[in-house]
Structure 1
Amino acid sequence: MQFVANHTSIPVPKVHYAFIHKGTSYIVMQHIKGQMAANGWTSRSDESKARILEQLRGMITELRSVIPPEGTKVSSVENGPFYDCRLPPRLYWGPYASVRELHEALVNNIPWDADYIKYPDLIELFDFYRQAENKLVFTHGDLSSLNILVRGDRVVGIIDWKTAGWFPKYWEYTTAKCVNPNNLFWTDVVDQFITPMPDEWKMDFIRRRYFGDLP
C-alpha cells in the first residue's frame, strides 16, 4: 500500500506500522470511512455508476503507468513470491524471470509441443502462451466489488493489496472477472472499467479447467 501511495494518487489506507508476532504478520492501518461498492450497486442510478467507473478507469491507468524497476520479475511488489488464492495447489508462486516462466508454472511445466490432438483447447492455450509479450505492469490482482470503497459517488479507497505485484497486462482483467459467487453482477461491471480482453479471459478459463479450480 505504501508503494501505491508513493507512486500514484489512488486512495489507499495509510499504514501506521507493521510487525510480526509469533510468526504472524500484522499491519496497523488507517480506517477509511466508506462502504463496499458491492453494497447497493444494482440500485444505483446509471449516472452514479458512471461517475464511479470513470474514477476506476483512471486508477487502472495510473497503476499501469508505474514503471517497473530494472530487473523486475513476475512477482510481488518487492520482487518476491506472489500470493494468489485462485491458483491451487499452493498460495505463493514465483518469482519468475519471464512471463513464459509464469505460464509454464501455471500448467505444471508440461511440454507445450506434445500431441494434444484430443484437446484442441489446450493447443489454443499453448499457442496463446507462446505469443504472449514479456511486458509487466503493476497490478492490484483482486479488484472485486468488495475491495473498492465508495462514499456517495466517490471512490475513497482501494483495499486488500495482498495479491498486488508485477504481472502480464491481462492479469488485472482475468483476476477481476473471477468474482465472489455472491457478487456475480460484478463480472459485467469489470468490462466497464478495464479494457475487455475476451481472448485472454477464454484462455484463463481453459487453464483453470485443466490446471485450476474448475470442475
Structure 2
Amino acid sequence: MAWAPAQLPYLKPPDLLPAPLPSESRFFESTAGGCGRASHFIVKYGRGVKEIEGQVLLFLEHHLEACHSMPKLYAMYRIASTGHVCLIMQRMPGVPLDQLWPTLKDFEKSVICAKLNGILTSIRSIPAPPLYGKICGPFDSEDHFNAALVKRLRSAWAQMKKHSFKADFYEKNLGRVLVGHKPVFSHSDLQRKNVLVHWDTLQGLTVSLIDWGDAGWFPAYWEYFTALQGVQWDDHWSQRIEEITEPWLSEAAVMKMVHQDLIF
C-alpha cells in the first residue's frame, strides 16, 4: 500500500505504545518551545518544530518497518493554545556521538561508521519517486532543483534592488556539474550530535540516527555535502564521513559556493 502523509492529529494505537503518553502539563511550561524527556518518550514542541519531521518518521516506519535505528513517532498534533506542532517520539537509548568521540578507539569508530553506513544504505534503498526536495517534492527534476537555487539567490538580490551576477554564473554553470544524480532518500544533517551510541549486553553496540527534520529526496551527492557542512575541521571526522556515505567531491565543492549565498 502506498504511503500518504498523516492527517493531524495523529495518534498511534494504544496497543503499539510502550506506555501511556505523557500529559501536556508536564512539558508545556514554555510557550517558545522545547524538548522534554520521559522514560519512553521524547517530546518536541514549539516554533522550531516541523511537522515534516513527524511525517518523515511515519514514512520511514512504513518502508523500513524492521529498522530499529531511528525513532518511531507516537503522536503528532498542534497545541491548541499556540498552534505549534508537538511531536511525541520514541526515546532512543544511547549517548550522543559527539560526546563519545574523543574517548573511542579507532576500531570502535570504524564499527560505528559501518553501522551508520548501513542506516544510510537502507534509506537510500527505498524506491524513489521522480521528486527532489521534501518527501512530497516540490521539484520533479534535478534541473528544477538547480533552478530553484538560482531563483532564491535572484530573489534575495532583488529585495536589495540589485542584479545578481552570481546568479547568472550559477544559472549558466550549475547544470554542468550538478547533473545526472538520481534522487535518493537522505537524512541531510549527519552530525555526530544526531547519532546515539548504546552498548547493550544482548545486542552489543547499537547506533541510532535522530533529528530527521531536514530529510527528503535529494540528489545522490546531498548527504555527503550536508555532512561536510557540519564539520568543524578540528579532528578527522571529515575523513570518517567517507566511510559512512559516498564522497562527491566536485559536487560538494560547487554546493559549498552556493551555500555561501543561500541558507537552507
User: In structure 2, what is the equivalent of residue 202 of structure 1?
Assistant: 253
Q: Which has the higher contact order (CA 8 A, sep 6+)?
A: 1
User: In structure 2, what is the equivalent of residue 127 of structure 1?
Assistant: 176
Question: Which of 243, 247, 253 is the aligned partner of 1:192?
Answer: 243
Amino acid at match of 2:127: I
Do structure 1's residue 42 and structure 2's residue 98 form an aligned pair? Answer: no
Q: 3-state SS of the aligned residue for 2:206?
A: strand
Amino acid at match of 1:101: H
Residues 26-37 of structure 1 aligned to structure 2 (within 5 Å)? 26-37=86-97
User: In structure 2, what is the equivalent of residue 103 of structure 1?
Assistant: 146
User: In structure 2, what is the equivalent of residue 11 of structure 1?
Assistant: 69
- 1:126 deviates by 4.3
- 1:134 deviates by 5.4
Amino acid at match of 1:16: Y
Could you say if the C-alpha distance between residues 123 and 48 of structure 1 is closer, same or farther in structure 2, counting changes exceeding 3 Å?
A: same
User: In structure 1, what is the equivalent of residue 84 of structure 2?
Assistant: 24
State the TM-score, normalized to the length of structure 2: 0.63
Could you say if the C-alpha distance between residues 122 and 19 of structure 1 is closer, same or farther in structure 2, counting changes exceeding 3 Å?
A: closer
In structure 2, C-alpha distance between the alignment counterparts of 1:43 and 1:180, rounded to whole Å: 19
Could you say if the C-alpha distance between residues 144 and 208 of structure 1 is closer, same or farther in structure 2, counting changes exceeding 3 Å?
A: same
User: In structure 1, what is the equivalent of residue 185 of structure 2?
Assistant: 138
Q: Are the counterparts in 1 of residues 76 and 85 from structure 2 also a CA contact under 8 Å? A: yes
Which segments of 5 or more consecutive residues in structure 2 lack a partner in the other structure?
1-56, 155-164
Which segments of 5 or more consecutive residues in structure 1 lack a partner in the other structure?
81-94
Amino acid at match of 2:126: V
Q: 3-state SS of the aligned residue for 1:166?
A: strand
Amino acid at match of 2:62: N
Amino acid at match of 1:18: M
Q: Percent identity?
A: 28
Q: 3-state SS of the aligned residue for 1:66?
A: coil
In structure 2, C-alpha distance between the alignment counterparts of 1:64 and 1:207, rounded to whole Å: 24
Q: Are the counterparts in 2 of residues 34 and 151 from structure 1 also a CA contact under 8 Å? A: yes
1:90-123 per-residue CA deviation (whole Å, 9 max, x = no partner) reads xxxxx11211111111122789xxxx8xx98986
In structure 1, C-alpha distance between the alignment counterparts of 2:134 and 2:171, rounded to whole Å: 28
How many residues are matched?
188
Residues 46-125 of structure 1 aligned to structure 2 (within 5 Å)? 46-69=106-129, 72-77=130-135, 79-80=136-137, 95-108=138-151, 125=174
1:52-89 per-residue CA deviation (whole Å, 9 max, x = no partner) reads 111111112111110024xx421322x05xxxxxxxxx
1:136-155 per-residue CA deviation (whole Å, 9 max, x = no partner) reads 11111111111111113733
Q: Are the counterparts in 1 of residues 231 and 238 from structure 2 also a CA contact under 8 Å? A: no
User: In structure 2, what is the equivalent of residue 212 of structure 1?
Assistant: 262
State the TM-score, normalized to the length of structure 1: 0.76
Could you say if the C-alpha distance between residues 154 and 123 of structure 1 is closer, same or farther in structure 2, counting changes exceeding 3 Å?
A: farther
Q: Are the counterparts in 1 of residues 150 and 171 from structure 2 also a CA contact under 8 Å? A: no
- 1:5 deviates by 2.3
